[in-house]
Amino acid sequence: TPLLEPQSSPTSNAVASTPSSAPTTHRRLLAWVSEVVELTQPADVRWCDGSDAEWDELTAELIASGTLVQLDPQAKPNSFYARTDPSDVARVEDRTFICSVDPADAGPTNNWMDPTQMKSVMTDLYRGSMRGRTMYVVPFCMGPIDAEHPMFGVEITDSAYVAVSMKIMTRMGAEPLAAMTANGDADFVPCLHSVGAPLEPGQSDVPWPCSDTKYITHFPEERLIWSYGSGYGGNSLLGKKCYSLRIASVIGRDEGWLAEHMLILKLISPAGRAYHIAAAFPSACGKTNLAMIQPTIPGWRVETLGDDIAWMRFGADGRLYATNPEYGLFGVAPGTGWGTNPNAMRTIDRGNSLFTNVALTDHGDVWWEGISEVTPPHLADWRGNSWVPGEATTPAAHPNSRFCTPIRQCPILSSDYDNPAGVPIDAIIFGGRRKTTVPLVTQARDWQHGVFMGATLSSETTAAATGAVGVVRRDPMAMLPFIGYHAGDYFGHWLEVGKQHDAANLPAVFYVNWFRRSADGGFLWPGFGENSRVLKWVIERIEGKAAAVETPIGYAPTAGSLDVTGLDITEAEVAAALEVDVDEWRAELPLIEDWFAQIGDKVPTELLTELDVLRGRLGG
């Protein structure tokens, strides 16, 4: 194979190595790397150590190949900009597969193919797919390396963009690699990724190599991930959705814990009491904004622990503890600005970040819709075209453009961020994006009702995945694209962990909607920092201080128990935001019935009972 030839890559002084000179003795890892080298035939192999020197080299190579542009260091130190191929801008849910041995284990919400058949299809695709490229071996750990059971992974990729992104998003490089052999060879999740664009001798590269053929594939029994054809974050940074949600949800099912699409925040009351909240919202519905919220109400303070993924395990005291497996933020850029999320702005202004598919100013800084009140007179848009405000007919930044930045740069990061034991969760919030029906906030009567709320969560689709935007769909626990097994079994797992623990120790469950509109189309609630008022109500419910009325869908704030002091809003507007409209909810019933019918026999009877109770309370 080409690998056995002396290395002569002129563009890289990388330590090109055959597996035999690899910086590890881990036998399963070495065997797997050899196997992938033989199959994909890269020109070069590089074991990533995660060092700053490596970052400098790889970003320099990515500049030379036209993938990255360095931003003005005055504005964004050590930061870079990438434009993807216009076809490779979001997660591809229709190309995402759960290849369980038994199709019944993937369930009706996932695409499935027989694992043997999928392996044969993808092995053909991988054959020679790294020709002419460097293969990066990227060891990483999701969550703290000093956890009792550190969650290792190794991504093999032919994309340097992926390798540098993994340095931001995970604990990556020499340290996790060393830890993987510290107590005998540790288990790890093998994550194989190829952009699927081999280079023949003499063929020049394109700035964003990818393939029209895409597969994002999970083999849950083997804890194995194969991704092909896309360089976009959610499809290619395999520690994130693929490992920490799809594979981890299966591990959690087997081991009695939860891997969820949730932010984690710490809320400190004026009395100095600290609470922790985990909140699930679908992609591009404001998790990053809520995670870094700057409360508008006096005396309340928030610290951030995570903006996308929570792993939650029960402690010896019976409480549910959450950790964030990630090391960085991969946030939606448009709508992020000094007015809406100043802490995210401070985080990216510290530099060391990658920006993808945003717009570029003439001064070498990034720009996107919502970043500032003023639009520069001229930009290069995400496609690289000249863009002039007033003349342009499309947004300058792609609606799913992203910033990728180290979470340690967040000025309000909680000191518990690195704590392998996690933080005790007091409340779980489910939220979606609905113009109608779902009120600003309600509280579940108990855990089972909370699971029903989560299981029937609905939201309008966003640009985070390819496909139509604005279509209402059920998105259970905001996990529809990320549950690695049968959705009915997943609901059963949520119910089961509740049954196994003392109800008094379980988090209280809430359902929110920041996106409800009035008849004239405007938002009924100002959102952003003002959402702290809803968080205050949540905490005061837990403390037994806030009043509530029981409605057919749960407990709702009484007029007066939601603190709107100093907010420019009428009583009628608050009432409209909070209203439980029985007619709208009656119209929702058949949608929930359809949804459960889609899930089929595996819908737990407890949830069918909850549906009956709801129907009864609505008088329908």
Partners of 88 in the beta sheet? none
Q: How far is CA 77 from the centre of its chain?
A: 25
* Least gap, CB of 425 to ligand SAT (angstroms): 21
The option from ligand SAT, Mn ion, none interacting with 482 (CB < 5 to 8 A, set by class) reads none
181: buried, middle or exposed (CB in 10 Å: 19+, 13-18, 0-12)? middle
Q: Which residues are CB-neighbours of 521 under 8 A, at least 6 positions away? A: none
Looking at the Cβ atoms of 158 and 308, the one nearer to Mn ion is 308
Partners of 465 in the beta sheet? 91
Counts of helices then strands in the chain (DSSP H, E): 16, 31
Looking at the Cβ atoms of 245 and 546, the one nearer to ligand SAT is 245
**Applying CB under 6 A, which of residues 193, 214, 240, 246 lies at the interface with ligand SAT?**
240
Looking at the Cβ atoms of 125 and 309, the one nearer to Mn ion is 309
Contact 129, 196 (CB under 8 A): yes
Give the span between the Cα atoms of 154 and 172, in whole angstroms: 9
Helix (H, G, I), strand (E, B) or coil at 430: strand
The option from ligand SAT, Mn ion, none interacting with 240 (CB < 5 to 8 A, set by class) reads ligand SAT
Looking at the Cβ atoms of 40 and 323, the one nearer to Mn ion is 323
Q: Which stretch binds ligand SAT (CB under 6 A): 195-203, 233-241, 567-575, 611-619?
A: 233-241
* Least gap, CB of 535 to ligand SAT (angstroms): 22
- Calculate Rg over the CA atoms of the chain: 24
* Residues known to be catalytic: 285
Does the protein bind Mn ion through residue 459 (CB under 5 A)?
A: no
312, 548, 292: which is closest to 427 by C-alpha? Answer: 312
The option from ligand SAT, Mn ion, none interacting with 50 (CB < 5 to 8 A, set by class) reads none
**Applying CB under 6 A, which of residues 310, 464, 477, 607 lies at the interface with ligand SAT?**
464
Helix (H, G, I), strand (E, B) or coil at 121: helix
Q: Give the relative orientation of helices 52-64 and 160-169 as an angle to the nearest 10 degrees.
A: 140
The option from ligand SAT, Mn ion, none interacting with 91 (CB < 5 to 8 A, set by class) reads ligand SAT
Partners of 134 in the beta sheet? 44
* Least gap, CB of 356 to ligand SAT (angstroms): 10
Does the protein bind Mn ion through residue 462 (CB under 5 A)?
A: no
The option from Mn ion, ligand SAT, none interacting with 330 (CB < 5 to 8 A, set by class) reads ligand SAT
Looking at the Cβ atoms of 308 and 365, the one nearer to Mn ion is 308
Does the protein bind Mn ion through residue 283 (CB under 5 A)?
A: yes
The option from Mn ion, ligand SAT, none interacting with 233 (CB < 5 to 8 A, set by class) reads ligand SAT
Does the protein bind ligand SAT through residue 231 (CB under 6 A)?
A: no
Does the protein bind ligand SAT through residue 241 (CB under 6 A)?
A: yes
510, 505, 504, 498: which is closest to 607 by C-alpha? Answer: 498
Helix (H, G, I), strand (E, B) or coil at 441: strand
Does the protein bind ligand SAT through residue 91 (CB under 6 A)?
A: yes
CA of 146: how far to CAs of 150, 173, 420, in Å? Answer: 7, 15, 7
Residue nearest to ligand SAT (CB): 234
Looking at the Cβ atoms of 308 and 416, the one nearer to Mn ion is 308
Q: Which residues are CB-neighbours of 299 under 8 A, at least 6 positions away? A: 269, 270
The 301-340 site mask, x for binding Mn ion (CB under 5 A), equals -------x--------------------------------
Give the span between the Cα atoms of 523 and 527, in whole angstroms: 9
Site for ligand SAT in 330-389 (CB under 6 A): 330
Looking at the Cβ atoms of 465 and 576, the one nearer to ligand SAT is 465
Site for ligand SAT in 247-266 (CB under 6 A): none
How many CB atoms lie under 10 A from the CB of residue 501? 15
**Applying CB under 6 A, which of residues 50, 144, 233, 450 lies at the interface with ligand SAT?**
233
Does the protein bind Mn ion through residue 513 (CB under 5 A)?
A: no
Widest pairwise Cα distance in the chain: 77
Which residue do the tokens 């819908």 mark?
Answer: 603
Handedness of CA 193, 198, 204, 209 (dihedral sign): negative
Helix (H) or strand (E) holding 460: strand 458-460
Looking at the Cβ atoms of 115 and 233, the one nearer to ligand SAT is 233
**Applying CB under 6 A, which of residues 96, 230, 283, 356 lies at the interface with ligand SAT?**
283
387, 328, 336, 334: which is closest to 357 by C-alpha? Answer: 334
Looking at the Cβ atoms of 24 and 289, the one nearer to ligand SAT is 289
Which residue do the tokens 């964004």 mark?
Answer: 76
Does the protein bind ligand SAT through residue 234 (CB under 6 A)?
A: yes
Token pair belonging to 463: 């640009």
The 17-56 site mask, x for binding ligand SAT (CB under 6 A), equals ----------------------------------------
Does the protein bind Mn ion through residue 44 (CB under 5 A)?
A: no
Q: How many residues contact ligand SAT, by CB under 6 A?
A: 8
Helices (H), 222-339: 233-236, 248-255, 287-291
Query: Would you say how long the chain is, in residues?
Result: 620
* Least gap, CB of 45 to ligand SAT (angstroms): 26
Does the protein bind ligand SAT through residue 243 (CB under 6 A)?
A: no
Helix (H, G, I), strand (E, B) or coil at 381: coil
Q: Which residues bind ligand SAT (CB under 6 A)?
A: 91, 233-234, 240-241, 283, 330, 464
Residues in contact with Mn ion by CB under 5 A are 283, 308
